[in-house]
Amino acid sequence: MLTNWFRRGATIPRPRRSIALVLAGVAIATAETTAHADEIDRSAATTAGPGSVVGSHEFPGGWGDIEPARFLEYVTEGPTGAPTTATGVLATPAGPAPVDGWPIVAWEHGTSGLGPACGISTNPRYDAPVVRRLLEQGYAVVAPDYVGLGAGAATVHPYLHSRTEATATVDLVRAARHVEPALGRRWAVTGVSQGGHAALNTGEIADHYAPELEFRGTAALAPPSNIEKILAAAGPYVPAIPGFDGFTAVFAALLDGVRLGAPDAVASVLTPAGTQALARIDRRCQPDWPAAVEGVSIGAMLDRPVAGSPLADALTRYLRVPVSGYHQPLFLAHGTADDTVPLALTQVLLAQFTIAGTKYEFHSYNADHEGIVDAAWPDVLSFLAGVLPPN
């Protein structure tokens, strides 16, 4: 189900049912880095262009034992479309750069939370090993915190917001090239879980959003998709089901992000209990989400069905995974034992790709959600080597 969409859910009890069973139940019920940047003036920074560098510094002692690594703060697009700042990490391989510069891989992380203490620049534990693997292949790596997840963030993180996941990633590539002249123009993106969602959205905008770069391809592992269709089934009739607090937490986290750009749409469906749940989960890191909604069901949060409400359209705009518009190679991977983001979701997405005429490469593995990176990694590297040779 949606409870543990990500490796970072290790402190949350493992879910016992899949999204399919959640929907069946509904049907039955209804039938750090605080010392960042050099002399930052954010008010002036947000008048600069996307990808402009606000501040940059090396991590004292490295980032997750990776050296050299730098913390970057840069200008990007916020959840309302207005300029804001975001943060991320830049790491480069050892040794001299190729003549045309190091090729860049953007690594998109899984769910970490909603607030400025939750970003990977502050918490490298889960992602530094993946970044190190990419460095060993000869790639420079950028890893965005996403909007709202870095030190000094001006907004709560718009969780699973397709547009800002993508723009924060592309603009970090731009910012990194301003800071490190040894970076080349060629780049690709890969990510897992929420990061798979981010990678797909990044791959769709990369060519036209940053034509000065040379985008080469997208690899998405266990990406959540079509979530807006699942959430359309929600309403006051959804019962409290033991073991599903994590699903309620994900729903609350999503609505906390959606209301940044569509506050009236969210307010139009919430009960007082729902409003209180969003206030409690706001800016919390992911391990604390279940406690924020403990004892509250999705049904108790809603005073009307999502379907037919303004929220339904807002969710579609907010969460969409594009099914066309990819101009570079596309790789997807999913585990057959994944009960966090079930394989069926990606199978539906692949059918949508086929109908839209989108070409893709797909691999399935005997792995669960937490095991998909290791299981798919040889094929990810093979894909990257084909579209983005490291030398």
Answer yes or no: is 105 within a domain: yes
Q: What are phi and psi of 314, to 5 degrees?
A: -65, -40
- Mark which of 318, 341, 360 sits at the end of a domain: 318
Answer whether 199's CB lies under 8 Å from 219's CB. yes
Q: Are residues 64 and 142 in the same domain?
A: yes
Domain containing 263 equals 7-31+234-318
Contact criterion met (CB below 8 Å) for 325 and 209: no
C-alpha dihedral sign at 159, 157, 331, 320: positive
Assess whether 280 and 298 both reside in one domain. yes
Q: Which of 318, 342, 372 is the last residue of a domain?
A: 318
6 versus 185: the higher-pLDDT residue is: 185
What global pTM score does this model have?
A: 0.90
Q: Please tell me the total count of domains within the chain.
A: 2
383 belongs to a structural domain: yes
In the chain, what's the furthest Cα-to-Cα distance?
Answer: 65
The pLDDT score that the predictor gives to residue 15 is 34
Report d(CA 116, CA 283) in Å as an integer: 7
Same domain for 73 and 136, yes or no, is yes
**Is residue 36 included in any domain, yes or no?**
no
| CATH code, domain with 81 | 3.40.50.1820
Residues 97 and 163 in one domain: yes
In a domain, 324, yes or no: no
Last residue of a domain, one of 266, 291, 318: 318
Tell me what pLDDT residue 46 has: 57
pLDDT at 107 over 60: yes
Q: Per-residue pLDDT tens for 204-248?
A: 999 999 999 999 999 999 999 999 999 999 999 988 877 666 789
Q: Do 185 and 122 fall within a single domain?
A: yes
Quick one: 78 and 199 in the same domain? Answer: yes
219 and 248 co-located in one domain:
no
Q: Residue 89 forms beta bridges with which residues?
A: 71, 143
- Are the beta carbons of 258 and 163 closer than 8 angstroms? no
Is residue 290 a part of any domain in this protein?
Answer: yes
Q: Using the structure block, give the residue that is written with the tokens 């996403």.
A: 146
Do 188 and 215 form a contact (C-beta atoms < 8 A)? yes
Residue % of the chain over a pLDDT of 70: 87
Tell me: do 360 and 307 sit in the same domain: no
pLDDT of residue 244: 67
Do 310 and 340 lie in one domain? The reply is no
Task: Looking at the structure, tell me whether residues 130 and 75 fall in a common domain.
Answer: yes
DSSP 200-241: HHHHHHHHHH-TTSEEEEEEEES---SHHHHHTT-STTPPP-
Segment 289-339, tens digit of pLDDT:
999 999 999 999 999 999 999 999 999 999 999 999 999 999 999 999 999
pLDDT of residue 5: 40
Is 345 a domain residue? Answer: yes
In this predicted structure, what is the pLDDT of residue 369? 96
pLDDT above 90 for 48: no
Residues 109 and 241 both lie in one domain: no
Does residue 190 belong to any structural domain of this protein?
yes
In this structure, the answer to whether residues 63 and 175 fall within a common structural domain is yes
Domain for residue 185, yes or no? yes
